Structure 1
Amino acid sequence: MITLNAMSQKDYDTYLSTAVTDYAGEKIKAGTWTEQLAFQRASEEYQILLPNGIETPDNYFYRIDHNETKVGVIWIAKSTDNPETAFIYDLQILKQYQDQGFGKQALKLAGDEALKIGFKNMALHVFGSNKRAIHVYRESGFKVTDINMEKKLSKE
């Protein structure tokens, strides 16, 4: 059985130790940031979003557990665009637990938690190259609201 459990400070520290680097890597892969600036920009964004770390108001961090074994993490927060919307900043399922339905189950539980907190909607961002996540989100009822697109320019 999947459960969401509030992260401890130790869980948060472990999460943060890889989250900034992972985010920087995704921004590089997407072509949004250069390698030279990615880690610095990712660090700055996390500092802006989480000035008080795990204690930052309106941010909710959970371990995703399966039978008391950690299989992932999820971070939701009050949307900066709409206070009635919970925004999923991060959902990670550990590699060895992927493709077992844990992401979909975690999204359902996160929605239940968001309702308990008082949110009416849930939103997220997904990198266009992340086909696995896009599939899970669509299967979980998320709809596309915005699409950013980019094209490499050449003189040909």
Structure 2
Amino acid sequence: MVVLKRMSDKEFTAWWKNSVASYASEKVKAGNFKEETAIEQSESEFQKLLPQGKDTPDHYLFTVIDEGEHVGMLWFHANHEIKENYIFDIEMLESKRAMGYGKQTLQALEELSREMGMDKISLHVFGHNKTAIGLYTATGFETTNIIMSKQL
């Protein structure tokens, strides 16, 4: 079973750079950002969500560890008023995908969420990310909203 370890400053810096680029790419694929401005828009959204970096209150950034080895990462926000943890980012290293680490990470988050007194875990997934949708469905997440578009 994986262990969730708070990100170090070095891990956070590497994660930030990679995640800003990855999020920008996903938003372009989804048709939400233009390629020319995607990195700047992504950076702006991250700055708004994490104004104090990894020390932003109620935001939790973890490195996912298995037997001492870094296998992925998890970022979620705790909303204590509505007793909900909201996953902003969960990603396993490419070399560690399809090995059960995503499922184990979600199980670890469930346990942590219960310990925190939360009643719910929510997330957003891009419609084109069929692998992630499959993981979330297999671990008990249910669709609560669907936004659809038609490119003209």
TM-score by length of 2: 0.95
**Which position in structure 2 is the counterpart of 1:149?**
148
Give the counterpart letter for 2:25 in structure 1.
G
SS in 1 for 2:151: coil
- Structural mapping, 1:1-12, within 5 Å: 1-12=1-12
Structure 2: which 5+ runs fail to align?
none
**Which position in structure 2 is the counterpart of 1:23?**
23
Query: Are positions 1:99 and 2:60 aligned together?
Result: no
Give the counterpart letter for 2:133 in structure 1.
I
In structure 2, what is the Cα distance between the partners aligned to 1:100 and 1:21? Answer: 25
SS in 2 for 1:18: helix
- Structural mapping, 1:6-155, within 5 Å: 6-79=6-79, 83-153=82-152
SS in 2 for 1:32: coil
**Regions of 4+ moved over 3 Å:** none
Tell me the alpha carbon deviations over residues 51-86 of structure 1, each in whole angstroms, 9 at most, x when there is no partner.
000000000111111111000000010259x63110
Give the counterpart letter for 1:130 in structure 2.
N
In structure 1, what is the Cα distance between the partners aligned to 2:79 and 2:133? Answer: 20
Aligned-residue offset at 1:26: 0.2
Aligned-residue offset at 1:29: 0.7
SS in 2 for 1:107: helix
Structure 1: which 5+ runs fail to align?
none
In structure 1, what is the Cα distance between the partners aligned to 2:5 and 2:113? Answer: 13
Alignment: residue pair count: 152
TM-score by length of 1: 0.93
- Identity rate, percent: 36
In structure 1, what is the Cα distance between the partners aligned to 2:32 and 2:17? Answer: 22
In structure 2, what is the Cα distance between the partners aligned to 1:66 and 1:150? Answer: 39
SS in 1 for 2:47: helix
SS in 2 for 1:77: strand
In structure 1, what is the Cα distance between the partners aligned to 2:37 and 2:114? Answer: 37
Superposition CA RMSD, Å: 1.3
